[in-house]
Amino acid sequence: MRDTDSSDDRATDGGVDADAPDDPGPDAGADAFDPVQVFPDSGEMDLRPGADSCYKCSTCDTNCPVAEVDDEFPGPKFQGPEQWRLSRDDAPEVDPSIEACSNCMRCDHACPTDVPLSQMHNTARGTYVDDQLSTFSATYLRKKILANYGRLGRLGSTFPRLTNVVMGNSLVRSVTDRVLGITNEREFPTFARQTFRSWWAERGGAQVESEERRVAYFHGDYANYNTPDVGKALVRVFEHFGYEVAVPRQRCSGTPMFANGMLGDARRAAEVNVAEFGALIEEGYDVVCSCTSCSMALRQEYPELFDIEGIDRVAANTYDAIEYLRIHEDLSGALAAASATDVPNLAYHAPCHARNQGLAEQALAVGGAIDDVAVEDVGDSCSGISGTYGWKSPHYETSMAIGEQMFEHMDAADAETGMTECPTCAMQMEHGTGYEVRHTLELLAATLTEETEWAE
C-alpha cells in the first residue's frame, strides 16, 4: 500500500513539486535527490520520481490494449519511464509512437509502484504536438477538431436536424476521412433536438432546495449536446434523494484535448471549470459527473497536468454520480424497495476510466440491488474506442481489434441492450453489435423516479 505522503510525490507542474528545484521542501533529508528538469523551458515538470519507481516488471505492458493488437506500438513502459530517460540528454525528440497511445489509462492502475504513466504519456504527447507536429498538417487539424468537440457540438445543436443530415451524408464522410483522417466507418453521433442546458433552463433550474445536500453537475459536452436524457436522469435521481442541483457554466473536461496532445486548449478549459466549480465548492457543493472520463479528468489529470489555484480542492471534491450516491445515501436499500418493469436484460461494459477510479463493479452492484433487472458484465477488456482515438482513420482497425473481445462477450451475454457510463464506449458498443446502449443513471432514474420511464 502506498502511504499518504508518497502521493504527494506525484510530479505536477504545480502543487507541491512546482518549486522543487529551488526548495526541496520539508521532507528533504539525507535521501533527497536532485530533481532533473526534463522539459527545460517549462521550469516546472519533474517526472523523475515516477521514472525511478519503475522496476520494469512490464505489468503495464500486459494491460495495454493497444500493445496487445498493434505491432508498431512499444507499450506504456516505453512511452512512460523509458522515453523519459531517453529524452533527458541530447535527444529531446519524442517518438511518434506516442500518438498510438489511446489514453485509456489502464497502465496507471496496473502499476504496482505508482509510476504516473498516463501523466508521462500526456506530457510527452503534449511535447510531441507542440514541438514536432506542423500546425498546418492535416493531422494537427484533425486533432484540433476532435479535441474541441464542444465547438462542433455547439454549432451542431444550433441546427441539429440539418447537421445530422449533413454529417450522415456519405460524400461528406468520405471527404472527412480522406482529407482529415476521420474514419468514415463510423456514424457521427446525432445531435439532440434540445440540449440538456436548454431543458434545464426551460424547467426553471433546480426543483429542490437544500442547505445540506448540494451537488454541482459537470455534464460535459456529450450529455449536453448528444445525450441530454443522461443529464435529465442525473438531475431527477439526485432530486429524488433531496439534493439541490446546480448546473454552472462549464467547458469540456479536457479529456479529448489531453488525448490529442492539445494541452494548451485543455488548460484554458480547465481554468473555466476550476473557477466555476471551485466557487460552488466554497458554498458547500460537491461536484458530480455522469461521464467517467470527465470525472477522471477533474480528479486525476487536472492536478497532474496543471497548476491552477483551487485545482486540488476541485479534484478532491469531485465524484462519479453513482459513486457519490453509494457513499452518501442508502442507494441499494432504495433500489431494493423500488422496482423496474420494462427494463430489458443489460450487457454492461465498465469503461477503462471507470475501472481506473475503482468503479468497475458499481453498476453490477446497482443492477443486483434491483428486482427484475439482470445486468451482466461483459468482461474487463477495453472497448477500444478510447474517446477520439477510434475516430481517427489510422487507428480505426486497431480500435476494432481491441473491441473484438467486448463484442464477442456482448454477443454471448443474455441481453440485447448495452449499458455503460462512457459516451464513446457506448458508440463503440453500438457500432460493433448494433445494440442500443444506455447509461447506468438512466436505469437508476427509471427505477427510482416517477417521471422517467425506460423509453426506447
Partner 1 sequence: MAIDSDVLVIGGGLAGMTAAIAAADAGAETRLVTASQSTLRQASGLIDVLGYPPSGSSSPTGADSPGGPVPRGDAGAPADDSRGPLVDPFDAVADLPEGHPYERVGPDAIRDGLAAFDAIVEGYAGGHTDANALVPTHGGAVKPTARYPDSTAAGLASDGRDAVLVGFSSLPALDAPLAAAHLSEAGVPFAVDGVTVRFPGELRADATATRYAELLERDELPGGEVEGASATAVSDGGREAASCRAVLADRVADAVDAADVDPQRIGFPAVLGEEHPTEVRAALADRLDAAVFEVPCGPPSLPGIRLERQLRAALRDRDVSVADGRPVVDFQATTDRVDEVHVESAGGGTVPMAAEQYVLATGGLVGTGIEADREAVREPVFDCHVAHPGDRYEWFADDVFGDHPFAAFGVAVDRSLRPLDAADAPEFANLRAAGAVLGGYDLAAEKSGAGVSLATGHAAGATAAKGA
Rg (CA), the chain: 22
Are residues 239 and 245 in contact, defined by beta-carbon separation less than 8 angstroms? Answer: yes
Cβ closer to partner 1: 329 or 436? 329
Q: How far apart are CA 292 and CA 306, in angstroms?
A: 20
The torsion angles phi and psi of 436, rounded to 5 degrees, stand at: -75, 140
Cβ closer to partner 1: 252 or 402? 402
Cβ closer to partner 1: 80 or 156? 80
Cβ closer to partner 1: 72 or 342? 72
Kindly give the residue spans of alpha helices, DSSP state H, lying in 169-305: 170-175, 196-202, 220-225, 228-240, 255-259, 263-282, 292-296, 302-305
Are residues 215 and 238 in contact, defined by beta-carbon separation less than 8 angstroms? Answer: yes
Which amino acid is residue 128, in one-letter code? Y
Least CB distance to partner 1 at residue 352 (A):
11
Kindly give the residue spans of alpha helices, DSSP state H, lying in 413-455: 423-433, 440-448
Rule CB under 8 A: which residues touch partner 1? 1-4, 7, 30-31, 57-59, 61-64, 67-69, 71-72, 74-75, 78, 108-114, 295-296, 298-300, 303, 312, 315-319, 323, 326-330, 355-361, 364-365, 368, 377, 380
Which amino acid is residue 438, in one-letter code? R
**Which residues, 6 or more positions from 157, have their beta carbon under 8 angstroms from its beta carbon?**
163, 191, 192, 195, 224, 225
Least CB distance to partner 1 at residue 87 (A):
17
- Cell 462512457 belongs to which residue? 422
Least CB distance to partner 1 at residue 172 (A):
29
Least CB distance to partner 1 at residue 375 (A):
12
Least CB distance to partner 1 at residue 455 (A):
30
Q: How far apart are CA 173 and CA 186, in angstroms?
A: 9
Q: How far apart are CA 288 and CA 428, in angstroms?
A: 24
> Taking the CB of residue 121, how many other CB atoms lie within 10 A of it?
24
Q: How far apart are CA 359 and CA 255, in angstroms?
A: 18
For 115, the grid coordinates are: 509510476
Are residues 339 and 446 in contact, defined by beta-carbon separation less than 8 angstroms? Answer: no
Cβ closer to partner 1: 110 or 145? 110
Which amino acid is residue 288, in one-letter code? V
Least CB distance to partner 1 at residue 110 (A):
5
Q: How far apart are CA 162 and CA 172, in angstroms?
A: 13
Least CB distance to partner 1 at residue 402 (A):
10
182 DSSP 8-state letter: B
Least CB distance to partner 1 at residue 61 (A):
4
Cβ closer to partner 1: 167 or 364? 364
For 275, the grid coordinates are: 473557477
Cβ closer to partner 1: 143 or 299? 299
Cβ closer to partner 1: 5 or 41? 5
Are residues 417 and 176 in contact, defined by beta-carbon separation less than 8 angstroms? Answer: no
Cβ closer to partner 1: 56 or 193? 56
Least CB distance to partner 1 at residue 303 (A):
7
Cβ closer to partner 1: 109 or 268? 109
Least CB distance to partner 1 at residue 346 (A):
16
